[in-house]
């Protein structure tokens, strides 16, 4: 048996329930993993609220780290006793232990702590695809990154610095802006006090940025388009402020033949080999000290509802983990 967080209905944090569930044995292509820590992400709140649909009842949680207890037939990249971490579907990471598909579970090198492994996989693999698998970016390019003091944002700030990419961030409040700048943002704009679109244009000499990486959604989408250089790429990868409303596609042409994509991490990591390659790059940056995980909030698994409330109230910085 393992304590597991489930929802039987969609709604606010109050629908989260901690129950005891039988774990069972792994079948072909599966593993059983006992978690040391679980990651908290905005996608978890989308699933809990019903924005992203699940068949109910369903367990929640998309990333965790721990020790492999058993492997099923055909699993060759992991063995019992291995340290491992993952971001993967189906949801179910908010648990002491679980049986799950093995393909997206990755070996976790010994120098990387379990809490770091739990905090970095979904966020870090997201940053990997934003910088390496979405649009060509290289040294000297400038990008705009919203919510630069969040868990994904602080990894992105460091990632950009490690690759010579100029990152302009936005965040809510001077303290959060300083945090982003300390982690590698060239400058971070307080969107509460500044006309951030004009500031971005000033900082780029009126040229705009090569790409906008926007996990905020409705509140920032239109302004983000106005920050792009001609032929620039708008990457809308999240909905923290709500989903982007419908808009006229001709707007992209009028604003400079812009490009728009709405990527999902789980498309990028669906292929086993690609997932392992992306994870190896992420773990290499962490092991080399180019990316350091900042875990500013820790909640016991039983207090998962409080963790969701803090995240949705934008009271968190860096990453948040649930301890098991």
Tokens 């409303």 locate to: 245
| Whether residue 166 is found in the same domain as residue 237 | yes
| Whether residue 148 is found in the same domain as residue 239 | yes
Average pLDDT (278-300) is: 96
DSSP 162-176: HTT-EEEEEESSHHH
| Whether residue 230 is found in the same domain as residue 285 | no
| Whether residue 29 is found in the same domain as residue 115 | yes
Higher pLDDT, 316 or 276: 276
Q: What confidence category does residue 239 fall into, taking pLDDT thresholds of 50, 70 and 90?
A: confident
| Whether residue 245 is found in the same domain as residue 273 | no
- What is residue 317's predicted lDDT score, i.e. its pLDDT? 85
CA distance 62 to 41: 8
Quote the percentage of the chain above a pLDDT of 70. Answer: 100
| Whether residue 251 is found in the same domain as residue 286 | no
C-beta separation of 101 from 33 below 8 A? no
| Whether residue 148 is found in the same domain as residue 247 | yes
CATH (domain of 108)? 3.90.180.10
Tokens 């993993």 locate to: 33
Residue 63 lies in a domain: yes
| Whether residue 109 is found in the same domain as residue 149 | no
Inter-axis angle of helices 272-287 and 151-162, nearest 10 = 80
Residue 130 lies in a domain: no
Residue 129 lies in a domain: no
> pLDDT per residue over 22-36, tens digit each?
999 999 999 999 999
Residue 145 lies in a domain: yes
Output Rg (C-alpha) for the chain, integer angstroms.
20
- What is residue 217's predicted lDDT score, i.e. its pLDDT? 87
Domain's final residue, options 240, 262, 284: 262
CA distance 229 to 241: 24
Inter-axis angle of helices 151-162 and 174-182, nearest 10 = 40
| CA nearest neighbour of 272 among 76, 5, 56, 1 | 76
What pTM was estimated for this model as a whole?
0.93
Full domain range(s) for residue 230: 135-262
**Average pLDDT of every residue of the chain:** 96
Residue 42 lies in a domain: yes
Residue 74 lies in a domain: yes
* φ and ψ of 65, to 5 deg: -145, 150
Total structural domains within the chain: 2
Residue 43 lies in a domain: yes
Based on the number of CB atoms within 10 Å of its own CB, is 199 exposed (0-12), middle (13-18) or buried (19 or more)?
A: middle
Domain's final residue, options 239, 262, 285: 262
Domain's final residue, options 228, 262, 296: 262
Please check the confidence at residue 194 and state whether its pLDDT lies above 80: no
CATH (domain of 249)? 3.40.50.720
| Whether residue 233 is found in the same domain as residue 290 | no
> pLDDT per residue over 98-153, tens digit each?
999 999 999 999 999 999 999 999 999 999 999 999 999 999 999 999 999 998 99
Residue 128 lies in a domain: no
> pLDDT per residue over 60-83, tens digit each?
999 999 999 999 999 999 999 999
- What is residue 314's predicted lDDT score, i.e. its pLDDT? 85
| Whether residue 223 is found in the same domain as residue 284 | no
- What is residue 115's predicted lDDT score, i.e. its pLDDT? 97
Which of 120-129, 203-212, 213-222, 228-237 is predicted with the least confidence, judged by mean pLDDT? 213-222
- What is residue 241's predicted lDDT score, i.e. its pLDDT? 83
Please check the confidence at residue 191 and state whether its pLDDT lies above 90: no
| Whether residue 67 is found in the same domain as residue 174 | no
| Whether residue 109 is found in the same domain as residue 228 | no
- What is residue 132's predicted lDDT score, i.e. its pLDDT? 98
- What is residue 8's predicted lDDT score, i.e. its pLDDT? 98
């Amino acid at each position: 048996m393992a304590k597991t967080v489930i929802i039987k209905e969609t709604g606010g944090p109050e629908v989260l329930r901690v129950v005891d569930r039988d774990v069972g044995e792994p079948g072909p292509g599966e593993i059983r993993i006992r978690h040391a820590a679980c990651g908290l992400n905005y996608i978890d709140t989308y699933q809990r609220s019903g924005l992203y649909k699940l068949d109910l009842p369903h367990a929640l949680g998309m990333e965790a780290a721990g020790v492999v207890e058993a492997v099923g037939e055909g699993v060759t990249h992991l063995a019992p006793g291995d340290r491992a971490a993952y971001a993967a579907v189906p949801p179910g990471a908010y648990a002491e232990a679980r049986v799950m598909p093995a393909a997206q579970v990755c070996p976790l090198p010994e120098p990387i702590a379990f809490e770091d492994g739990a905090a970095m996989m979904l966020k870090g693999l997201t940053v990997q695809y934003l910088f390496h698998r979405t649009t060509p970016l290289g040294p000297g390019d400038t990008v705009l990154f919203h919510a630069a003091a969040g868990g994904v944002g602080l990894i992105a700030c460091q990632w950009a610095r490690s690759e010579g990419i100029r990152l302009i961030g936005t965040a809510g409040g001077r303290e959060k802006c300083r945090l982003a700048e300390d982690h590698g943002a060239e400058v971070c704009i307080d969107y509460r006090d500044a006309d951030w679109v004009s500031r971005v244009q000033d900082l780029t000499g009126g040229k705009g940025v090569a790409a906008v990486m926007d996990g905020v959604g409705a509140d920032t989408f239109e302004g983000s388009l106005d920050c792009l250089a001609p032929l620039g790429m708008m990457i809308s990868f999240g909905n923290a402020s709500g989903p982007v409303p419908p808009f006229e596609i001709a707007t992209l042409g009028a604003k400079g033949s812009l490009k728009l994509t709405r990527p999902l991490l789980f498309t990028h990591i669906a292929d086993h080999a690609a997932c392992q390659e992306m994870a190896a790059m992420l773990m290499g940056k962490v092991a080399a000290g180019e990316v350091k995980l900042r875990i500013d909030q820790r909640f016991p698994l039983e207090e998962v509802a409080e963790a969701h409330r803090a995240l949705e109230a934008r009271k968190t910085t860096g990453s948040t983990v649930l301890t098991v």
